[in-house]
């Protein structure tokens, strides 16, 4: 088998980096949730531990900066890896079409037959698609994707992930700056619950699922995290 043979490797090549699809919105919503929960949890933990306003502020700013960079870095690595896979598949199909175009054509016919088309219609469809753009036809039939490498920009995805985390973190941070110190903890819980309700609703729309389940899950995770952070902070004193 030649090195470029990627037959059957259709797994997660297509949808995850669809720049116009729901998957990207889910990724960004998840990063924003991480920012909301992380910054609020740090605040709750530090305040429960008796940290001063300045100490808590420094902690949240440090978390926001490092969290944004971490989210961007993770997303860059994932997108770059996905792009490399797609480039390899693209080159594989180009090589296969160059060295064995008849086999590729027959494979395309078999794919359409497996989808329920008659042998005659499968051959007619494969013939028309191959004559129009053989590479595009193979990529679509075998991997359910278009020319993939053109759709993934690692730096763009990294920037979006970092900014989404930053945007989520800013809510608790700004709240900390403007609210009276005595009620910051209680107000933080309310604002986090509201923020996660909104993001949970956005996530549900991306998943095309029950919005109430998504909202309940997202808010529950956030509040439990804040509770654990607050408890852990109460066990430590500054």
- Residue 162 pLDDT exceeds 90: yes
Each residue of 66-123: pLDDT tens digit?
999 999 999 999 888 888 888 888 888 888 888 988 898 988 899 998 988 898 998 9
Confidence of residue 143 (pLDDT cuts 50, 70, 90): confident
pLDDT value of residue 5 = 40
Q: What is the mean pLDDT of the chain?
A: 80
Split at pLDDT 50, 70, 90, the class of 53 is: confident
Sheet strands (E) in 56-207: none
Report the alpha-carbon distance of residue 190 to residue 27 in Å, rounded. Answer: 24
Best mean pLDDT range from 21-30, 42-51, 86-95, 158-167: 158-167
* d(C-alpha 71, C-alpha 80), whole Å: 14
> Is residue 43 within 8 Å of residue 52, measured between CB atoms?
no
Q: Which of 37-48 are b and which e, b meaning 16 or more Cβ less than 10 Å from the residue's Cβ?
A: bbbbbbbbbbbb
Residue count of the chain, please give it.
Answer: 238
The pLDDT value recorded for residue 10 is 39
Reported as a single tens digit per residue, the pLDDT across 192-224 is 888 888 888 887 776 666 788 888 888 898 889
With 90 as the cut, is the pLDDT of residue 164 above it?
yes
Residues 6+ apart with CB under 8 A from 238: 49, 50, 51, 52, 55
What is the pLDDT confidence band of residue 148, given thresholds at 50, 70 and 90?
Answer: low
Contact 191, 8 (CB under 8 A): no
Extract the tokens encoding 175: 């709240």
Report the b/e string of 76-99 with b at 16+ CB within 10 A: bebbbebbebbeebbebbeebbee
The two three-digit tokens of residue 85, written as one number: 């896979």
- Please give the structure tokens belonging to residue 10: 């259709």
Pull the structure tokens for residue 3: 């090195």
CA pair distance 157, 71, nearest whole angstrom: 10
In the predicted structure, residue 4 carries a pLDDT above the cut 60: no
Residues 60, 54: Cα–Cα separation, whole Å:
10
pLDDT at residue 184 in the model: 64
Instruction: Report the pLDDT value the prediction gives residue 12, as an integer from 0 to 100.
Output: 38
Give mean pLDDT, residues 153-164. Answer: 90
Q: By CB neighbour count within 10 A (0-12 exposed, 13-18 middle, 19+ buried), where does 187 fall?
A: middle
pTM of the model as a whole:
0.71
């Amino acid at each position: 088998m030649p090195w470029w043979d990627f037959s059957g490797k259709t797994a997660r090549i297509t949808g995850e980096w669809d720049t116009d699809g729901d998957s990207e919105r889910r990724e960004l919503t998840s990063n924003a949730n991480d920012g909301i929960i992380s910054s609020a949890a740090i605040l709750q933990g530090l305040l429960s531990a008796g940290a001063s306003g300045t100490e808590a502020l420094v902690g949240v700013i440090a978390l926001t900066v490092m969290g944004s960079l971490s989210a961007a870095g993770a997303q860059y690595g994932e997108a770059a890896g996905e792009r490399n896979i797609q480039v390899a598949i693209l080159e594989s199909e180009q090589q296969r079409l160059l060295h064995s175009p008849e086999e590729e054509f027959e494979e395309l016919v078999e794919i359409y037959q497996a989808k329920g088309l008659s042998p005659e219609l499968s051959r007619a469809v494969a013939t028309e698609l191959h004559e129009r753009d053989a590479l595009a036809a193979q990529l679509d039939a075998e991997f359910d994707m278009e020319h993939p490498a053109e759709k993934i920009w690692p730096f763009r995805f990294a920037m979006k992930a970092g900014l989404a985390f930053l945007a989520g973190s800013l809510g608790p941070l700004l709240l900390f700056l403007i609210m009276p110190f005595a009620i910051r903890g209680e107000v933080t819980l309310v604002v986090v619950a509201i923020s996660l309700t909104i993001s949970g609703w956005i996530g549900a729309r991306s998943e095309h699922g029950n919005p109430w389940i998504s909202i309940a899950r997202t808010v529950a995770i956030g509040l439990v995290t804040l509770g654990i952070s607050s408890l852990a902070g109460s066990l430590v004193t500054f």
